[in-house]
Amino acid sequence: MERVLGDKRAILILLGPALLVYSLIMLVPIIWSLGYTVLDGNPIVGFTFNGFDNFIKFFQDPAAWSAIWFTVRFAVVMTVLQVGAGFGLSLLYVFWLKRSSSAIRTIIFFPIVLPTVAVALLFQRLFEAAPTTGPVNSFLNLLGIDSVDWFGTPAASFWILLLMGLWQSMGFYGVLLYAGLLDIPEEMLESARLDGAGGWKLIRTIVLPLSLPVLLSSLIFSINGTLKVFDSVVALTNGGPGNATTPLTVYMFQTSFTYGQYGYGSTIALMLTILCLIFTIFIFRSTRRDVTKS
């Protein structure tokens, strides 16, 4: 193995094809998209150079700021819910269900493998108000409460999107954090119990600090995934009512492919990339500062 790793020709043969494919699929489109940010037009009508006009337009665009606000709000709340619910499930698996948790883990994990469109249709039927009454509104009617148009108000649509995303993803984060908890030495937990640590004190003083690496990975994974939310929004609300649930991804798609503004759409994509980098760096710096203080 040392001879192979020391041979530059062997390294090139082994890594070259993969790097070529990665460059063609990932790097070339990224560079191409960056080039579009200083252009106006599309392949049909042609492109013209407009300098930084797309960036000026972005910062003066009320729809873009609305999309940023929804994207950030959705990402922060969903990340807290996903990682929080996942950590709670992982504690349930390890300390209460233990070896009998495999069946429950499988059941809770199952929604993540379902197509997002199918899950969205399920939630549309659950909260439907017209032309037929869904189970949620039927239950409200039994209680003497009028049916609610859940998808007709921004606040209700926002929380249904969160509920759908949480139901579909919490099983994944539960398994991810469960794997991290299994790495905690049982001897350390037993020693803490003998010293009088139990329940919340055991979790706060032993489990939580030792789980920070996998929690950090989960936070970064979740925040970047939720900042780029697309399919669930399109399938459930399509950005409505109005543009109240339109994230940057959907706004970018509409701008590029509905209105044919490739340059401005690429600018929105670049702003989304910068937003993801800002959140990732913030999480890294915050956790590193906490570790340093401790």
pTM: 0.89
pLDDT of 6 over the 70 cut: no
Task: Report the candidate in 70, 261, 94, 87 with the shortest Cα–Cα distance to residue 161.
Answer: 70
pLDDT band at 3 (very low <50, low <70, confident <90, very high): low
Residue range 108-117, pLDDT digits in tens: 999 999 999 9
Q: Is the pLDDT assigned to residue 290 strictly greater than 70?
A: no
pLDDT at 120 over 60: yes
Can you tell me the mean pLDDT for 178-187? 88
Q: Given this model, what pLDDT does residue 249 score?
A: 96
Question: CA 73, 87, 170, 150 torsion: positive or negative?
Answer: negative
* Angle of helix 102-109 versus helix 154-181 axis, rounded to 10: 150
* Whether residue 293 has pLDDT greater than 60: no
Cα–Cα distance measured from residue 153 to residue 179, given in angstroms and rounded to the nearest whole number:
39
Longest dimension (CA), the chain: 78
Instruction: Quickly list H helices, 92-153.
Output: 102-109, 116-126, 135-142
Q: Which domains does the chain have, with CATH numbers?
A: 61-293 (1.10.3720.10)
Banded pLDDT at 169 (limits 50, 70, 90): very high
Helix (H) or strand (E) holding 275: helix 262-293
- Reply yes or no on whether the pLDDT at 188 is more than 90: no
pLDDT at residue 236 tops 90: yes
Lowest mean pLDDT among 1-10, 101-110, 155-164, 275-284: 1-10
Q: Is the dihedral of CA 64, 158, 85, 209 positive or negative?
A: positive
Split at pLDDT 50, 70, 90, the class of 5 is low
| Mean per-residue pLDDT of the chain | 90
